[in-house]
Amino acid sequence: MAKVQKIKGFADLFPDEAAKYTFMESCAREVFSRYGFGELRTPILEKTELFQKSIGEDTDVVGKEMFTFPDRKDRSLTMRPEATAGVVRAFIESKIHQPGNVSKFFTFGPMFRYERPQKGRQRQFHQIDAEIFGADEPQADAELILMLTSFLNRIGLKNLTVEINSLGCHECRPAYKQALVDYYHSKDKANFCEDCRRRMETNPLRVLDCKVPTCKELVQDAPVITDHLCPDCEAHFADVRAVLDGAKVAYTLNPRMVRGLDYYVRTCFEVTSNDIGSQTAVAGGGRYDGLVRNLGGPDCPGTGFACGMERLALLLDDIAPEAPDFYLAVVDQEASNEAMLFAQALRKKGLSGEVSFAGGSMKSRMRAANKSGAKTCLIMGGSELADETITVKDMAGNREQETLDRKLYLASL
């Protein structure tokens, strides 16, 4: 019979790998709660228009990478390619926003992008995402970067680079876009890829993010946004940097970073690693003032980031599972039921461990006990069953064993 296999770009995470994800999530909970963030869980499936209206029709994510399909009533649905759009929708729909209030959320979970799978790039991947609503101050952006770097330190990562940029606002960006268009027109249009020939008219910033080598080369001398910022954006960006400088967070200014999603204004940032192959970005984010209003909500600024958990997992050492307290070796089938009940009593006392199911030699039982890493091996056979005893073997120290009264042993724990 042909085996049913998983979908290309989707992965199963067995305990060793899943432990890394649990570790990252618990560290994120610990660190983010220190900054006043609360957990929000939003649906994986959303209406397609949510992503079209927020991420932008011209982006690779919306144009090429979404898992989109009609439901049974022919409504177009999309597996979320990122968390921000859904969090913004939930924020608007909940009507929790009050003018002057700041709301902070984090969320974890699977995201879906139809990209070519490779190391650090999956079609189902996981993000740790954080968003702040209601703060247009540069300190909110700086706080996110501080929180992100604290989290990355907490999970033990070093050798990461923080890159930051300002993408300007609706005041200064039009003039920059025009400067870009003028620059593209000064080049031979035929040398740009087909997408960029279109984008240079519809969305000139996107051309800067094109991955096609010829386009990359053509934009190398393009004007940079930081030469076109209005005084307010200049001051905003200077304050973000001042907080980072004060906190001694090392960063690089990258005036060519535009990010792959259309909703950004002003501050944007990425954290990269050179230790995980060609997909170097482990986290990215920025400010998206205007998005809440564009999606039908109040005039409320927003800023946030997301980490890619697959890429962080590549940088983490293996996490050793915690050793169980006991391994209960059943050496006679007739003792199986009593062994199960005894193990249950041990677990009620807070101990952890497994019971061997019947079958197999004493030798194989001891091998299994060793392999489990348990501190104590408990042995129950016909004689222990009859005498209401349990044989206890110390696996961590002298490896001696003694047979004890079962009830007294339980009471001694």
Nearest approach in angstroms of CB 261 to ligand HAM is 6
User: Binding of ligand HAM at residue 260 (CB under 6 A)?
Assistant: yes
Question: 150-174: string of b/e by CB count within 10 Å (b at 16+)?
Answer: bbbeebebeebebbbbbbbbeebbe
For the chain, helix, strand, coil in percent to 5 are 40, 20, 40
- The CA distances from residue 227 to 179, 200, 253, in Å, are 11, 20, 13
Residue type, 330: V
One of 86, 168, 308, 353 touching ligand HAM (CB under 6 A): 308
Instruction: Identify which of 252, 311, 259, 254 has the alpha carbon closest to the alpha carbon of residue 286.
Output: 259
Region label for 29, one of left (φ > 0), alpha (ψ between -120 and 50) or beta (otherwise): alpha
Residue 52 or 391: the one with the smaller Cβ distance to ligand HAM is 52
Interaction pattern, residues 92-131, with ligand HAM; x per rule: CB under 6 A: ---------------------x-x----xxx--x-x-x-x
Residue 258 or 282: the one with the smaller Cβ distance to ligand HAM is 282
Q: From 71-79, 173-181, 278-286, 342-350, give the range in contact with ligand HAM by CB under 6 A.
A: 278-286
How many Å apart are CA 374 and CA 354, to the nearest integer? 9
**Residues 6 or more apart in contact with residue 164 via CB below 8 angstroms:** 145, 240, 241, 244, 251, 252, 253, 254, 257, 267, 268, 269
User: Binding of ligand HAM at residue 305 (CB under 6 A)?
Assistant: yes
Nearest approach in angstroms of CB 248 to ligand HAM is 24
Nearest approach in angstroms of CB 243 to ligand HAM is 18
- E-assigned strand segments in 274-406: 281-287, 302-308, 326-330, 353-355, 376-380, 389-394, 401-405
- The CA distances from residue 299 to 97, 136, 156, in Å, are 10, 11, 38
Structure tokens at 194: 């087909």
- E-assigned strand segments in 19-123: 38-39, 45-47, 67-70, 76-79, 103-112
> Could you tell me if 376 and 395 are in contact, meaning their C-beta atoms sit under 8 angstroms apart?
yes
Per CB under 6 A, which of residues 2..61 are in contact with ligand HAM? none
One of 86, 285, 297, 353 touching ligand HAM (CB under 6 A): 285
Nearest approach in angstroms of CB 286 to ligand HAM is 6
Nearest approach in angstroms of CB 139 to ligand HAM is 17
One of 66, 147, 208, 282 touching ligand HAM (CB under 6 A): 282
User: Binding of ligand HAM at residue 281 (CB under 6 A)?
Assistant: yes
Nearest approach in angstroms of CB 79 to ligand HAM is 12
Nearest approach in angstroms of CB 109 to ligand HAM is 12
Residue 288 or 326: the one with the smaller Cβ distance to ligand HAM is 288
Q: From 15-23, 198-206, 248-256, 275-283, give the range in contact with ligand HAM by CB under 6 A.
A: 275-283
Nearest approach in angstroms of CB 395 to ligand HAM is 41
> Could you tell me if 125 and 306 are in contact, meaning their C-beta atoms sit under 8 angstroms apart?
no
Per CB under 6 A, which of residues 139..178 are in contact with ligand HAM? none
Per CB under 6 A, which of residues 74..93 are in contact with ligand HAM? 82-84
Residue 60 or 384: the one with the smaller Cβ distance to ligand HAM is 60
- The residue sitting closest to ligand HAM, measured at its beta carbon, is 308
Residue type, 156: G
Nearest approach in angstroms of CB 142 to ligand HAM is 15
Structure tokens at 400: 């001696």
Beta bridge partners of 165: 268
One of 46, 163, 310, 384 touching ligand HAM (CB under 6 A): 310
Residue 141 or 384: the one with the smaller Cβ distance to ligand HAM is 141
Interaction pattern, residues 184-223, with ligand HAM; x per rule: CB under 6 A: ----------------------------------------
Task: Give the max Cα distance, the chain.
Answer: 94
Residue 312 or 378: the one with the smaller Cβ distance to ligand HAM is 312
Q: How many residues bind ligand HAM (CB under 6 A)?
A: 26
Question: 5-21: string of b/e by CB count within 10 Å (b at 16+)?
Answer: eeeebeeeeeeeeebbb
3-class DSSP state of 224:
coil
Write out the residues near ligand HAM by the rule CB under 6 A.
82-84, 113, 115, 120-122, 125, 127, 129, 131, 260-261, 281-286, 304-306, 308, 310-311
